[in-house]
Structure formats: structure tokens, C-alpha cells
Amino acid sequence: MRRFLLDSDGTADDALAIMMAARHPNVEIVAATAVAGCVRVWQAAENVLHALELGGAAGAAVYVGCEKPLVRPHVSFEVIYGRSGLGNHNYGRARQRPDAAHAIDAITSLAKHYRGELEIVCLGPLTNLAAALVRTPKLAEWPKQVTIYGGSAEGGNVTPAAEYNFHADPEAAEIVLDSGLPIVLVGWDQSRAAMVISDGDIHRIRASGTKECRFFMESTRPLADYCRRTLRLRGSDLGAVLATAIAIEPGVATDETRVRVDVEARGEVTRGSVVLDPVGLSRRAANVRLVRAADADRARAMLFDTLRIDGAASVAPPASPADEAASEGPPSDQGPSEGISTEESAPEAAAEGAALAPTGVSAPTSNAGAFEEA
């Protein structure tokens, strides 16, 4: 049995990825950690808990992590995933509550306890893992593997140059990539190439009618809308699902290369972009195994298994583009013209954190406590 720790900002594709890992017979989710990203950290934690329940792994511990990037204010990006991160649907409180410990402590202690065994899958901004590395540099020696969804070698999904996770906290991405961790990097460019949901995919999902399929249709509506309107894709792209599929079944990655990858943290128009050094001009050692191609059919099969789609549905005719748009719902009420929405006021965020915190545990109010033992 392989042991996974999943780090997520609670978006719809992250939730599907968590369900995929939870359903796999050879994977044990020893913990999941929440980080601020497209939504605030306490909402991310709630979404992770909900995904674990849907995936049948409600007993896995969930830890709340950093509620802002390492050196920047948190800026949400609800335009992609809706108000809750799972579309604009309110799923309410999950039955399970987060653990009292901070995600940074959980990542460090679990990596040490399962030294050489723990596989970390990072699906959101890399703030939690970077903060853990700053406090405990030896952490880089402990995981078996770290699979990261982030960055893009060819264009971006929130700026012309950058993918969201690296754009949100480029300093964290810089720390993680320079840490010496055994990293497999799956960029948004590969998601765009291999994991965009097609008309036929939507027909299969809509026709199946399982609770997992209904969750898919509800939670991905704003994502599909953003991908069509802003990115000019034919449907939603599920990068977190692709990265998790590769973490679970490495053969899903059909082409990988060892290469030096750096992150631009200071550029005004290039913040969060990645720079590849395939011929070694920087004289710096390769730091990642970069996925350059993936088996789209195999990744889709894993997604459909997660959604409990009957194989007979695969013979159904593809839906028309109009049917696809209708099936994924009307355009979200947070269209791309709204751009990046800023985080709510501090009192409101603190109130929500207190409401969602486990009994007797205060919601973290900053990242500062994570470094007290540095």
C-alpha cells in the first residue's frame, strides 16, 4: 500500500483528484492539507473534507495550513472555480472536522515518520510545503516523491506567462524547486494537451447520473465557463486530476525529462512563469522530472472510474457543443470580466475560520506561528 499526502487549495479539479486517490485500491491517504489559493484556506479545508467523504476516505486527517502566500497578501481567484471553489454550490459543513495541528507540522512529522515511503501530491500553491522546508530543510530528504501540478512551459491560464499555482506564490515555488526534493512536475500546458473535457466526455458523465457525476457537473460549471470564454478551450481542463493520475500510475506520463526549471518571482509581467534550461546554460543541476506528454485515454479512464461511470455509457454518441454548454450549466455569474477578486475583510475571514475550526482550536490567523521553532 502506497502512502499519499495531498496538499490542496480545495478547487473542483483538486476535489476530483482527491476522490481519485481515495478510490484507488493501492493508495492510502494518510493526510490531506489545505492551503490558501483560489479560495480562502478554511473554505479549502471544507472542500477537501467534502471530497474525502465523496471518495470514501472520510477518516483521513485534514490539516489547515497557510492562509496567505509566503511574502504576499492572499488574492483569491473565484472567477475560475466559483464562490466556494466547488462552483457556486453550497455543500455545507462536512461531518468530519479538521485536525488541530497546523499543516506545516503535519507535513514535516508525517514525512519523517514515513521516511522514504510518503508520496506528496501538491495540487495548489506551494506555500505549505515551502514553509515546512524553510523551517526544516532536512524535510527534502524524507519523501519518496513529490508530484506537483503547477507552472507551464507554454503560456499560462491566469496571465500570458503563468499558471495560477505558481503565479499565486512564486516565492514558494522557487523554494520548493530549489530544495532537492524528488519532484515530478506536471504543468498546465500538459493539462491543456491531455485533460480538457470533451463533448463526448460530458455526454458520458451526464448520462451516468451517479452522485459523483452530479458533483462533477455542479462543481466544474464555472471552470468550464472560464476555460471556454477566457482560455478558448472546448471545455474544462483538469490539471490536478492529470497530476494525481500520474502520481498514482506513473505510466500515464508517456514522456519525461530531467531538466532544470526555475520560477520567475519578481517580474511584473512574468511573475510565476517557468524557465527551462534543457541544455544546461545556467550550469545548474536538473531539479525536476518534467512531464512532456501524457496518455489522455488512460487518465480519462481513471477519472471515469472515480465517477463510477458504467462502461456501457462509452457507446453513447457525443453531445453537440450546444449540449455540452447546456450540460455544464449556464455561464457562471462571475464572468471573466470580473477578473481576480480580492480576499474578504480580515474580520469576516476570522469569523469564518472560528466557525469552521475544531472545538477548542483557534483558526490560524497568519503564517507566523509556523516559523516559531525555526
With contact defined as beta carbons under 8 Å apart, do 22 and 55 qualify?
yes
Residue 241 sits at the vertex; the CA angle it makes with 238 and 245, to the nearest 5 degrees, is: 140
**Integer Cα distance of 294 and 52 in angstroms:** 26
Strands 61-64 and 27-34: parallel
Q: Is 31 helix (H, G, I), strand (E, B) or coil?
A: strand
pLDDT at 311: 62
pLDDT at 347: 34
pLDDT at 90: 81
Confidence (pTM): 0.84
With contact defined as beta carbons under 8 Å apart, do 204 and 310 qualify?
no
Q: Where are the domains of the chain?
A: 2-331
Amino acid code (one letter) for 82: G
pLDDT at 207: 94
- Tens-digit pLDDT profile for the chain (374 aa)? 999 999 999 999 999 999 999 999 999 999 999 999 999 999 999 999 999 999 999 999 999 999 999 999 999 998 999 999 999 888 888 999 999 999 999 999 999 999 999 999 999 999 999 999 999 999 999 999 999 999 999 999 999 999 999 999 999 999 999 999 999 999 999 999 999 999 899 999 999 999 999 999 999 999 999 999 999 999 999 999 999 999 999 999 999 999 999 999 998 899 999 999 999 999 999 999 999 999 999 999 999 999 999 763 333 333 334 344 444 444 444 333 333 333 333 333 333 333 333 333 233 334 434 333 33
With contact defined as beta carbons under 8 Å apart, do 14 and 219 qualify?
no
C-alpha cell of 155?
Answer: 503560456
pLDDT at 92: 82
Residue range 2-331, CATH number: 3.90.245.10
Q: Is 288 helix (H, G, I), strand (E, B) or coil?
A: strand
Query: Which residues make Cβ contacts (< 8 Å) with residue 262, sequence separation at least 6?
Result: 174, 177, 274, 275, 277, 282
C-alpha cell of 303?
Answer: 477519472
User: For the sheet containing 183-186, what is the strand order?
Assistant: 99-102, 61-64, 27-34, 2-8, 118-122, 145-149, 183-186, 288-294, 253-263, 274-277
